Amino acid sequence: MKTHPKKDTKLQTAWTCLSIASLLGAAAMAAEQPAVAAPPLVKPTPEQVAWQDLEMGMFYHFDIITFTDLNEGAWQGAGHLDPNLYNPVKLSTDQWMEAAKAMGARYSVFVAKHCTGFISWQSDAYPYGVRQSKWRDGKGDVVREYMASCKKYGIKPGLYCSMPANAYCDVYEKCMVKDATGPNDPRQVEYRRRAQKMVTELWGNYGPLTYIWFDGGVLPVDKGGADLAPIQRRLQPQAVTFGGPPENPAGLSRWPGNENGITSYPNWSTVTRANDEGAGNADGKVWEPGECDAPLRSTWFWNPGNENTIRSLDNLMDMYYKSVGRNANMILNASVNRDGLVPEADMKRFKEFGDEIRRRFDKPVAQTTGEGDSVELDLGKPTTINHAIFMEKLSEGERIREYTLEGFAGGAWKELCKGQSVGHKRIEQFGDVEVSKVRLHVTKSIAKPLIRQLAVFNVTPRAK
């Protein structure tokens, strides 16, 4: 029989007390160390969340150059076009909104002043616009009618008033009057006054705007630009701006870098610095979601000879998947003709586009919401699906960095697709599969994933 030495209980007790004291001391030291906080999540303004929820917009390009045979890029050499050329005898902004509704647009942007300098509202900024035309005896106001039609049809309004170019004021690029010696040149000072007067009228006389487009951006005063930021903060602080002053309280949107209506993937809602372009930066510190813009025809302004360039329905659907389906808004242009109407051929295509989006995505097979790294959707029985839509709760920031969508069939999970950015909305396509459950598995995130929607669809081929 083995024998064991007798234990020294006093020594054992001492060592035990020492160990406990050491542990308590280490815990106390750890408690004294400041916790390393996770970097704060970049979040949108409430106005940006609401704007991203609108998803689809419609542009309206309509200017005095529409009444000439000039190419839309010829405004620089056109001189001061006779304002009496402008005569849209059948103008109907209600009809414009019918085009937007048919397509499914929930916001719109009217080009109130483009590069010719022609003003489409009753303005005191300078004498070149509808007030100087024979149309409606000089009393017409397209902006007022547009805003009234937006309200009537429930379309959120936006206005475009370009600053870098104005042929009437001899401004051809970067806000600078031709041959001006610098920002203090009297002609440059006068252009700044005119620019500030225009936006004060547009933003102050027609009611609240959802969106303001600064095409080409705005230069600072010391480089010849007008100081527009204080005017916007005073008159339209709730409007999201495209290309506007970085200090806008409602936040900015950004250009993807092309006019093809698409963005690359992954596409993030954050950027490194305000007014960046492209597909964003997952680690960016500024919330600035993308908007993909494109003309329906080959030109932004109406041209009688290019009806054959109207985009095909297949092309438009591809754009939809690569814009709205990649966490960006999509804005498609309507070229208003000389009568002041969206042409019938264009109206037909807008309706076909809207109908096809609704046919594919209005009725999901099933949908759910959830939180955490894994959100499961039970379909109840084996069901054929080929599309999925994911949406994050955007008010709490973009949290997902990588994901996999899996389907349950034959007693096992199998991968259907995988990707990176989700943001407002991600649309995934994959081949027909029959599954009884699907699971969104977030494989990388910077905070707890908050899934606003997980939906699956069975999209059947379109009848030709």
Which residues does 294 contact at the CB level (< 8 Å), separation at least 6?
259, 260, 261, 311, 319, 330, 331, 332, 333
User: Which DSSP string do the residues of 113-140 spell out, in sequence order?
Assistant: E-TT--B-S--SSSS-BGGGSSGGGGT-
Whether pLDDT at 36 is above 80: no
Question: Could you read off the pLDDT of 66-119 as tens digits, one per residue?
Answer: 999 888 777 776 668 999 999 999 999 999 999 999 999 999 999 999 999 999
46-361, superfamily in CATH? Glycosidases (3.20.20.80)
Whether pLDDT at 16 is above 50: no
- What pairs with residue 434 in β-bridges? 384
The architecture that CATH gives domain 366-457 is Sandwich (2.60)
Separation of alpha carbons 218 and 241, rounded Å: 12
Question: Could you read off the pLDDT of 355-371 as tens digits, one per residue?
Answer: 999 999 999 999 999 99
Q: What is the pLDDT of residue 396?
A: 97
Question: Which secondary-structure segment (H or E) carries 277?
Answer: none
Write down the pTM of the prediction: 0.90
Q: Smallest Cα–Cα separation from 328: which of 355, 362, 288, 285?
A: 288
Q: What is the pLDDT of residue 77?
A: 62
CB 87 within 8 A of CB 140: no
CB 296 within 8 A of CB 308: no
Q: Which carries the bigger pLDDT value, residue 338 or residue 30?
A: 338
Q: What is the pLDDT of residue 215?
A: 82
Tell me the pairing of strands 374-392 and 450-457.
Answer: antiparallel
Number of alpha helices (DSSP H) and beta strands (DSSP E) in the chain: 8, 18
Which residues does 8 contact at the CB level (< 8 Å), separation at least 6?
none
User: Which DSSP string do the residues of 53-72 spell out, in sequence order?
Assistant: HH-EEEEEE--GGGGSSS-G
What type of residue sits at position 283?
D
Lowest-confidence pick of 212-226, 293-307, 429-443: 212-226
Separation of alpha carbons 229 and 222, rounded Å: 14
Q: What is the pLDDT of residue 156?
A: 98
Q: 177 in the Ramachandran plot: left (φ > 0), alpha (ψ -120 to 50) or beta? A: beta
User: Which DSSP string do the residues of 310-330 spell out, in sequence order?
Assistant: PPPHHHHHHHHHTTTTBTEEE
Domain spans, the chain: 46-361, 366-457
Which residues does 353 contact at the CB level (< 8 Å), separation at least 6?
103, 104, 313, 316, 317, 320, 332
Question: Could you read off the pLDDT of 278-326 as tens digits, one per residue?
Answer: 999 999 999 999 999 999 999 999 999 899 999 999 999 999 999 999 9
Q: What is the mean pLDDT of the chain?
A: 91
Q: What is the pLDDT of residue 6?
A: 39
Q: Which two tokens stand for residue 462?
A: 């379109």
